[in-house]
Amino acid sequence: MGKDFNLGGVVDPTVDTEVEHGKALLAYADAIYANDSIAVAEKREQVLKKIGPSGLVEAAATAANFSMLDRVANAAGIQIEAMAVGQTEDFRADLGINDYVSAANTLGG
């Protein structure tokens, strides 16, 4: 693919991620993780209108799979590989990922 995306948009809605329909997808993900069923329904409808039924299913499956993998890794105490710690240090700090409670498990802290 060879395209760079701006991950800053994940934590700052004023930043364009450069992902097609990124704002709608991020709003949908935010509603899912906020556990707000009314917002999820609204954002789901917006994603459906923007990218169609197959895009909505793909977005929902991606969010569900991420949640599942994250929970399994945290529950099992799986830490990030040492090589990946260095490779992700800059954007983990920039995005505030190191401040998440689960970072203690992931980083082995």
pTM for the predicted model, two decimal places: 0.72
**CA distances (Å), 80 to each of 50, 73, 92, 100, in order?**
35, 9, 12, 14
The span from the CA of 97 to the CA of 89, in Å, is 10
The residue extents of the domains of the chain are 1-77, 79-109
Q: 17-68: per-residue pLDDT in tens?
A: 999 999 999 999 999 988 899 999 999 999 999 999 999 999 999 999 988 8
DSSP, res 8: G
CB 24 within 8 A of CB 46: yes
